[in-house]
Amino acid sequence: MRGVEGSPQRAAVLCASTIFVSAFLLFLVQPLIARQILPWFGGSAAVWTLCLVFFQVVLLLGYLYADRLSRWPLRIQGRVHAVLLIAACATLPIIPAAMWKPATGDADPSLGVLVALAATIGLPYLAVCTTGPLVQSWVARLHAGDGVRQARVYRLFALSNLAALVALIVYPFVLEPAFAMRTQALAWSAAFALFALLAVASAWTVARALRERRPQTDAVPSSTSKPLPPSASPPRLSDMLLWLALSALGTVSLLSVSTYITQDVASVPLLWIVPLALYLLTFVLCFDSSFWYRRWLFWPLVLVVAPALAWYLNTPFRNLPIATVIAMFCGGLFVICMLCNGELSRARPAPAHLTRFYLAMALGGALGGLFAGIAAPMLFDDYWELPGSLAIPGLLLFWLARGRHSSRPLVWMSAATRVLGLIGALAVVTMMVDSRRDANTNTLLRARNFYGVLKVNTYDLDDAAKASRRLVNGVIAHGEQLLADDLRRIPTAYYGPLSGIGLALTTRRPAAQRIGVIGLGVGTLAAYGRSQDTLRFYEINPQVTRIAHDHFTYLRDSAAKTEIVPGDARLVMQHELDAGQAQAFDVLLVDAFTGDAIPMHLMTREALAVYARHLKPGGVIAFHVSNRHLDLVPVVKRLADDAGFGALRVAYDPPANNTLEHPSDYVLVSPDPAFADNADLAALGAIQLDAGKAPLWTDQHSNLLAALRRRSP
C-alpha cells in the first residue's frame, strides 16, 4: 500500500523536475542560438527582432499543441509527445549548418534568419515550449479528486519561471564568459537529450500511478475510453480576453521599460537583465502563493505609480541621478507586472482548463511582443509605447472593479476604484498629447525604425560661432557639426585632427588615400577628404544615411569621392572578398560601437582577419573604443597580438575649444609588427600598450563581463 501511495508522489516530483529543466533550457537557448547566427546576418537590431518573433510564434504554437493534445488519453499523449521528442533529438546538436549562411549581403535577411532558426532549433524549441503546460496537465490528472493538491498545480508555473530566472542569471554571468558557443551548444544538446528522457519518464510514471490507484477514478482514461469531461465549466470569452489583455500588458511594459532605460537613460551593458528578472520574479511570486499579491496594496500603487512615471516622462526637469531613474522605472515595471500577473493568478481556471489558460497567455504575450518589437517602430517616431503602457493599467482597474457587491462600502470602493482608474488613464493620455505637442523646439527631426530612435537637435542658434547640429540615438551622440559657413567643414566630436583617427589619416599621408569607415554617423570623416581621395562608408541603418545627406553637409562639402554601402559592414566586406573585390584601404575606421552597447561580432579574431584582407600593405585599422563602461583597449590589443599585428593607443582629451571636440580613445592596428614602434605617431602621443589578461574574442567566445570597467570614468 505504501508503494501505491508513493507512486503519485514520485510522479509529481519527476514532473516538477521535467518542468524546471524544460524552462531552464528554454531560456538558455534563446541567446545561444541568436549569438551563433549573428555574424551571418549582421549584428543588427533587426536580427534580434526576428529571433524574438520566431521564439514567440513557436511558443504560441507549442501552447496550442499542448492545449489540443491534453484533451486526449494520457497514453496517446505520451506516444505523440515521445515522437516529437525523438524527432527533436534527431536535429541535434543546435549548431547552424553552413548551408543556411546567406550567399549575398544585399538581400533582405528576414527569410534567411527564420529558415536558419527553424532548421536548427525549430523542433527542440517546440518540444521545450510544450512540455511545461502539458506536464502540468498530467499532474492535474494525477491529483484529480484531491482539491488541495489540484489547487497547487499552478505552483509548477511559478517553478518554471524560477527556472527561467536562474537561466537568465547563469547564462551571461557563468556560461557565456566561460565557454565557447560551440561548447555551449553541445552541452545544451546533451541536456536536451536528458530532458527528453525525463519527459517520457514523467508520462510513464503518471500513467502507472493512475493505473495503481484504487478505486480507479481514471483521471487519465484508458486507450479505449473517451477523454474525461472537464471538472468545471469552460472559460468564457470574457475570461480569455482578460487573460490575453493582462499578458499583453505585462509584455509591452517589460519591453518598453527595457528599451527606455537602456536607450534613453543609460546604455549600460547587461542592464536589460534587471527588468526581465523583475518580470519573471512577479510570475514566481504571484503563482507561488496568494500571499504576495494583495489588491489593497497593488491597486493603489498602480494608480499612483503609472501617472507619476508618465509625468516624469513629460517634465522638462529630468535631472535625477541615473540610478534613481532606473530604480523608478524598474519599480514601476514591478508594480504593473504584479498587477498583471496577480490578476492572472486570481483569474486562473480549474486545472482541467490550464492549457487553455496558458494558450491565452502565450497569445497575449506574442501580441504584446509583436506590437512593441515590430509594430511600434513602424507606427511611432519615438518610444510612445511606454507612456501607452502606463495608461492601460487604469483602464484595467476600471474593468476589474466592475461587478455587483452586497455591501454599500464595497459598492463605494468599487465605484471609487473605477473612477480613479479612468482618471489615471486619462491623465496619462493627456500628458502624452501634451508631450507630443510641446516637443523640444531644438529637435529638427525625430525618426524611428528597428535600429532605434534618431533625433537631430540644434544648439546655440543665437550665436553664429557656436550654432551646431547633433545626431543622437538615446543618450549617445553619433556626430555633430558647426553650422557657420566657415566652420562647418571642421571635423568635430571624436574625429579631431589630434584624435586617433585624425593622426592615422594625416601621418605619412599618401598622395591619394583610400579610406574605409564602418559606421557613417553624420559623415564627419568626409571633412578629411581631398579631391584625389575616396571614402567608402558602410552603414546598416538607412535612416542614418538619409539624415547624413539631408541635415548635415560633410558629405556634399567633401572634395573626395564618397561611397555609402548599405548593410552590416562585416557581412558586406566578406562578400566583397568572396567576389574578389578587396578594397585596398590605406585606413579603415571601425566606428560602429562608440556608444556603450557594441556589436561584438565586429571585434573578433574573424572580423580582424576580414579587415586585414581589405588593407594595403602598411595600412592601418583604427578601432574607436571610447566607452564609459567597457575597457576595450586590452581586447583590441589581444586581437592584434593574436594576429601578429602592431598596435598603438591614442587617448586624446582636447582642451576647452569651440570646435565641439570630445575626449576620444582609439587603438591603431597594422599588419606590420613594427607599427608599434612608429616614431611619428609616438611623437604625437601614441603609446604602446599591454593586453594584460584580456581574453581573445572570437565568433565562438567573447567575454563582455571581463571588459567591464570597475569604475566608470
Tell me the CA distances in angstroms from 617 to 302, 529, 675, one per residue in order. 64, 21, 12
Q: Does the pLDDT value for residue 701 go beyond 70?
A: yes
Whether 421 and 307 have beta carbons less than 8 Å apart is answered as: no
**Spatial CA neighbour of 704 closest among 270, 180, 303, 277:** 270
Amino acid at 249: L
Whether 500 and 689 have beta carbons less than 8 Å apart is answered as: no
Q: Does the pLDDT value for residue 1 go beyond 50?
A: no
- Give me the helix-helix angle, 322-346 and 385-400, nearest 10°: 30
Mean pLDDT, the chain, whole residue set: 86
Cell of 640: 592584434
Q: For residues 273 and 699, what is the distance between their CA atoms, to the nearest angstrom? A: 23
248 or 209: whose pLDDT is higher?
A: 248
What's the average model confidence in pLDDT over 606-621?
A: 95
| % pLDDT > 70, the chain | 89
| Residues across the chain | 713
Q: Does the pLDDT value for residue 230 go beyond 50?
A: no
Q: Does the pLDDT value for residue 213 go beyond 90?
A: no
pLDDT of residue 108: 58
Sorting pLDDT into bands at 50, 70 and 90, what band is 410? low
Amino acid at 614: H
Q: For residues 460 and 660, what is the distance between their CA atoms, to the nearest angstrom? A: 12
Is 579 buried (19+), middle (13-18) or exposed (0-12) by CB count in 10 A?
exposed
What lies within 8 Å, CB to CB, of 296 at 6+ separation is none
Sorting pLDDT into bands at 50, 70 and 90, what band is 659? confident
**Spatial CA neighbour of 645 closest among 627, 683, 618, 663:** 618
Q: Give the position of cell 507561488.
A: 288
473 or 8: whose pLDDT is higher?
A: 473
Bridge partners, 650 (sequence order): 666
pLDDT of residue 709: 67
Domain 484-707 class, CATH top level: alpha beta
Range list of H helices, 109-236: 110-142, 147-151, 155-170, 176-178, 181-212
CATH architecture of 1-220: Up-down Bundle (1.20)
Range list of H helices, 520-613: 542-551, 554-557, 569-578, 605-613
Domain boundaries, the chain: 1-220, 234-351+372-439, 484-707
pLDDT in tens, 354-393: 999 999 999 999 999 889 888 888 888 888 899 989 999 9
Most confidently predicted of 49-53, 225-229, 650-654? 650-654
Whether 383 and 256 have beta carbons less than 8 Å apart is answered as: yes
**Element (DSSP H or E) covering residue 669:** strand 664-670
**Element (DSSP H or E) covering residue 480:** strand 476-482
What's the average model confidence in pLDDT over 316-330?
A: 81
- Number of C-alpha atoms within 13 angstroms, CB side, residue 237? 0
pLDDT in tens, 515-537: 999 999 999 999 999 999 999 99
pLDDT of residue 26: 93
Cell of 283: 510570475
